Structures are given as structure tokens and as C-alpha cells.
Structure 1
């Protein structure tokens, strides 16, 4: 064809252009535009996936569309279902129906794509009646070009499925919304380390109890990303399964450790720090929080006077020993008082003018300023101040759970 580029130039351009993106529609549109006029007067790419037919055209008017496979012209459907090893077939002179209700009067070639990953496809290369027929060299070039298109389509479909899988996994691993518990305020903040994936290894779990109050857990699985998130989700599921048998925090920690400990394990995700608590309303106002700890940073208790008490509990990390020892403490919250549970991603957050850790003392100072404030406001301020301190720097998973005994004046 007059004015067509050298075969090597076309293939190098296809390699460069089709390798720029993992977007299916962008690559498909680029493929048909590259084929015109280098290989044909009109090019059509047809893909069948997910029980739908997608098509793109170039030459004359660039178009794309979607339809049921049964709506494709019969001659295209027959090419899509061919299973023999001959991938390129000539298209004789004639008037050929195209997707979208248009037609082309001429001849050309049809190439079956080799993108077998959840997809069938063909590339139609059509010339006008006054143009020369495809030579052996043209056919070889068309086949190589179609192979580049096949690779681009396959890569785009793989990427699409990976993105969908990651989103499904993210939704499944996100902490559930906090329940509403009569007489107790609950609020949380959650920020994974790998925010592009929005999947973290911190454990944040709260569920209401049939006899009143709530069971809550906050922890940190060693490691980051999907592996840590899966391990944390496994602990949450185990906790939910064990809860009908006992709601004693210390018993629950021991049972979870029995499941987690693996003497032959080498993965970091078998280790976790964890706080498990049961909070219940106290008659005449206030709340009682019974906490069991396994190597987790100490809770901070914000009293009505604005003082902050560091509640050291101790205990060993889960998964470290079969006979790990855990510790327990009981915290009484007067009306308006708060207990803040957090993971080490808060205090270890590095930033500020000197790149220092946010630290326990800054967190205590922040809680002093917000003594008596609603739980939701406290959780929001901790997340915001930590984020400001990081100033966009990399960080560990961050999780905060705030438990507050409402003050009667809050309802006024």
C-alpha cells in the first residue's frame, strides 16, 4: 500500500505504543488506529469476553461499541470460533457487514488473536476494491502486528482482573463498621501502610454482646500488606467464632495463641500483638473495661480532670510460644472518660521537622487537649495529627479505637 511504513517501523511503533498502557480500551483503540493505513483502509478489533462482544474500528470514523456476541455479523462469529492453527485467513472481494451496523466493500484479511486468557478475538484488516490484495509479506506483517495486539490485550485483561481481585480482597479485609452499643461511645480510625492497596495488617474488631456491652480487639500482625492483612483477618474470624463460647478476654487470648503458634513456622505473620477487651455499662453511669494484653502498646486512659494515665498491662506476643503468658487489667471509666487503644503505627510515625517519631508523649498531650470530647472527635484528631506529622512519608499501619463512657450532659 502507498505510503505505508516499513514493517520494522510499524512493529516497533506497535511495541512502543501498546506497551504504554494497561487500559484495555486505550490499547484496543490504538491498535486499530495503527493498522490504518499501514495495513488496511479500515481496521476492526473484536473481542468477546464476559459474555459480551466489544469492538473498535478505525478508518473513516473511529468508533467503539458493545453488544451481545449473537449480535455480531455471522462471518465474524465464525472466525471467532475457529480452533485450527491457521490464524490468518484472506477475506475475498465482497460487501462485508461490520459491528455496529456498518459495511465495507472490498477485501482483506482476518487474523485470529492468540489472547486465550478469558477472551476470544479477531483483527479485521479490510482494503478497498482498488487496492492490492495481501501479499505473503503483508500477511506476515499482519500476523506479527496481531501478535503485538494479542499481548497488549492479554496484559490489559490480566491487570483488570488483578485490580478487581485486589478491590474484592480489600473490601473483605476492611474492618467492619462499629456497632451501636447502648451506653457506650465507640469510634475508630484505620489507615493502612500501603494506601495504594488500602489493605493493612492491623486488627480492628468490635462486636456487640448479647448480654449488653461490646467485645473489642485491636492488634498488629507482624509484616505489612496482603499477607499481614490475611493473617489479621484470620484472627478476626477466629475471635468471632470463639466469642459464643467465652467472652473472657484472657481466655480468648489463650485460645487465639493456641491457633496462632506454629513451632515450625517461619513467617512473620504468625506473630501479633493484641488487646482484647469487654466493655459494659456500669449502673448509675460510667463503664467497666476488662482488657487482656499480648505484647501490645499500653492503652491510654483520659480522666475527667484532663490527666492521661498510661495503663501498662504487659503480656507476651501471640504466636511466640505455646505457653505464652498474657496479662489482664480492669479499667473503670467515669462518665465522660475515655480509653484509647492504638497500634504502634501511631507512636512510631516518623515526621515533623527533624524526622522524629510522633511518640507517646505527643499522643498524651493531644489527648489532654481533647479530654471529655466525643469519641469520634478524638479518633479523628489522632488520625489527622498523625497524618500531618507524617507529611506524606511512608508509615506503618495505623489503627485507633476509642472507648468512651458518655456523660449525661452529652444528651443535653
Structure 2
């Protein structure tokens, strides 16, 4: 009972597979066996095994040497492969006196027991407990103890594998939902600021997408899906992937918005429509160094243009929110940037950031800030907007923040 209680305490402390496996082969030595080995299925035709041999000196309980290696089913000795595959067989089997081959090609002489762990059918695992010839064979009570210990090990291994799989899914989701790196576009400086509300998860409901066009220039998209968190991030990811496809059908921002709106709305009402505000723009550099921006918008905040004189112009576009109406009307505006001039597109996480006494950062404060950065590089402008908003925030909780800065390269 003392052994089992110690095992429960140790095996319940971690969701790390390596740490749990090390504990699983160290705890039963020498209480139950002279050598303990664990074989776990970690993926399709992929296994990993660990073994603790007390004949190898240890510097302390935390530094017990454990052999470990990745193997395939073909590397397993037949006697282990049979138990691993027999998911409906007995939970524990006694092993008579023999020379038992191990996954690393070695051989252990003696007797013992092999325990099939209570993992799911997709992740079978076994625990091997071997004793030297001069030690008594496992009796019924010790076989029962081995089964109880195997249950604790199986729960710890299963939890660690599930956690590992969830982490891998989350990492893949984050990678798919993060904005892609900015492309190099001739004659145009590009910079972004992107701060999700769930900063620890690195995902945001704000859409940020810049894609170089084959004939020069780029397609630029900034949007804000209603809500925040994982649901908004997934909806934003769907919109971004749809934009990649639509760009290959048409390069006209207004047409892209119209088709995207039709694809967003479920006329049968079977799925929830995610409302969004969005700006879709095409940007191209002209021969004289100026840059042409064609911006189509659906209910989004107006972009701001920083002229060389320091004047900040508001580009009122209008248009209806994406997903609000199957016959929604969208608007378009044309903006010319002379060399050194800048256009800033942003989401409401900037203007609605709450500061002292609940006051919002606001478009007026943003306009005043940008007036002091006329002619500055795009990266400096983006960084300064983000830092000013973060400094303004009175609480750590905030909406998603996304800023796209486009600057005509100065002569």
C-alpha cells in the first residue's frame, strides 16, 4: 500500500510523457523487480520504450539513469509484441525463467511479469517487470499489485499522450491562424502591429492578410470579426482562406467583398453567421514613386493617411458590415500616396482601448499621435501605435489589436 500511494503521488504530478515514463520504470525498482521497462505506442507505427536497470549507478532519486529510444513494431521482441497486440487478453502475464530479449537488442535472464496497461486501443502500452533468478517468482498478491500499479501508470501515460496531442493541435491551429509574414512589394514599405486579446494563445479574431500579386503590388486585408477568443479566431481564419481563393478569381476589392459576403451568410439558417467589419485594398506603386490604393470597405473604421506636411486625412469609405445582409452594399475609395506618405488601417482594438477612468483611446488621440510621425518609416509608425495603446490600457484585458501601415517609399 505504501508503494502504491507513493506511485499515485508521483504519477499524478505531471502531464509530461517523458517524466511520467521515467517515474514508471524507476518506482518499481527494487520493490517489484530488478529491471522495469515501459513500451508505449506514441503514433502510427511509432513506439518509444524506457528501461531502468539498477545495475547502473544513480547519483540520486532524481538522476536515476534510464535508457530510452524510439522504435518501430519490428524492433520489438516477439513476446512483447504479442502482449501489446492482444488488447482483449489478460491484464497481467507471469514470465517463466528464460533469457528475455529487450527492444534494444539486449537480453535479461530471469523471470517476472508483463502488464498490459489500460490505455485506449490506439495507444497500447505494456509494463515489463523482470527479476533475477535468485529472487522468488511473482506470487498472486504481487501480480495483483503489478496490475494496480499498471493501472496508475496507464492513467498517467494516457493523460500525457492526450495532453501532447492537444498541444500539437493547438500549435497547428495557432500556426494556421497567425498572419503570414509580410511580402516584399516594390516601392512600398509594409509594417504591422498585431496583439491578440488572448496574448498567451497568440490567436486573434482580427484579420491581417497581405499577399503579393503576380502582376506587382499587393492585396491587403484588415478586418475585425465580432467577438474575441477562439471562435472569433477560427472565423477570421476562414475568411482569410476564402480571400486567398477569391484573389485568384478577381483582383477587384469591391468584387471580393461582395462574393465574400455571399459566402459568409447561411441563407438556410443552419449555421451561425459571423459578422465582421473589413477593409480590402489593392496597392500598387506607380512609375513616379507614388502609390495607388484602392480600398473597399464593409462597416470598418476609416483608414488614416499621413501626408508629408503632417496633416492626417480620414478616408471615409462606409459600406455595410460583412454578414449582415445578403444584399449588402459596400463602398470603395481611391487614395494616392506621394513618396514618403503613409496610410494606416486599424481595428477597433486601437480606438476602443480603455484607459484611465474607462476613457477610450479614440480616433482623435490616434490622429494626434500620427501627426507627429509624418515621413517616418512604416515599422516605426506601427510600433509607436501599438506601444501608445498598450501604455494607455488601464487593465490587462483588451480587445484584439491589429494595425497595418503602408508607406510609399521616399525618393
Judging changes above 3 Å, is the alpha-carbon distance between structure 1 residues 71 and 248 closer, same or farther for their aligned structure 2 residues?
closer
Does 2:60 correspond to 1:56? Answer: no
Identify which of 33, 36, 39 aligns with 1:43: 36
Judging changes above 3 Å, is the alpha-carbon distance between structure 1 residues 269 and 373 closer, same or farther for their aligned structure 2 residues?
farther
Identify which of 27, 49, 52 aligns with 2:20: 27
Q: Deviations over 1:218-241 (max 9, x none)?
A: 101123333323322222232232
Q: Deviations over 1:237-285 (max 9, x none)?
A: 3223223443332222222111112345487662110011122334533
Structure 2 CA distance for aligned equivalents of residues 392 and 117 of structure 1: 47
Does 2:173 correspond to 1:169? Answer: yes
3-state SS, counterpart of residue 350 of structure 1: coil
Identify the residue that residue 363 of structure 2 maps to in structure 1.
360
Q: Is the 8 A contact 1:49 1:118 kept in 2?
A: no
Identify the residue that residue 273 of structure 1 maps to in structure 2.
277
Does 2:190 correspond to 1:157? Answer: no
Identify the residue that residue 314 of structure 1 maps to in structure 2.
318
Q: Deviations over 1:22-61 (max 9, x none)?
A: 1111011111222223322332112233334322223513
Give 1:130-141 correspondences, 5 Å limit.
130-141=134-145
Structure 1 CA distance for aligned equivalents of residues 395 and 200 of structure 2: 13
Judging changes above 3 Å, is the alpha-carbon distance between structure 1 residues 296 and 12 closer, same or farther for their aligned structure 2 residues?
farther
Q: Gaps spanning 5+ residues in structure 1: where?
A: 1-5
Q: Is the 8 A contact 1:262 1:270 kept in 2?
A: no
Structure 2 CA distance for aligned equivalents of residues 260 and 179 of structure 1: 27
Judging changes above 3 Å, is the alpha-carbon distance between structure 1 residues 29 and 276 closer, same or farther for their aligned structure 2 residues?
same
3-state SS, counterpart of residue 251 of structure 2: coil
Q: Is the 8 A contact 1:308 1:364 kept in 2?
A: yes
Q: Is the 8 A contact 2:39 2:50 kept in 1?
A: yes
Q: Gaps spanning 5+ residues in structure 2: where?
A: 57-64
Structure 2 CA distance for aligned equivalents of residues 137 and 129 of structure 1: 19
Structure 1 CA distance for aligned equivalents of residues 335 and 46 of structure 2: 60
Q: Is the 8 A contact 2:53 2:66 kept in 1?
A: no
Identify the residue that residue 255 of structure 1 maps to in structure 2.
259
Identify the residue that residue 370 of structure 1 maps to in structure 2.
373
3-state SS, counterpart of residue 30 of structure 1: helix
Identify which of 134, 145, 148 aligns with 2:149: 145
Identify which of 193, 197, 209 aligns with 1:193: 197
Identify the residue that residue 16 of structure 1 maps to in structure 2.
9
Structure 1 CA distance for aligned equivalents of residues 130 and 398 of structure 2: 55
The alignment covers a number of residue pairs equal to: 400
Does 2:387 correspond to 1:384? Answer: yes
Identify the residue that residue 3 of structure 1 maps to in structure 2.
none
3-state SS, counterpart of residue 251 of structure 1: helix
Identify which of 180, 197, 220 aligns with 2:224: 220
1:77 Cα deviation from its structure 2 partner = 3.0
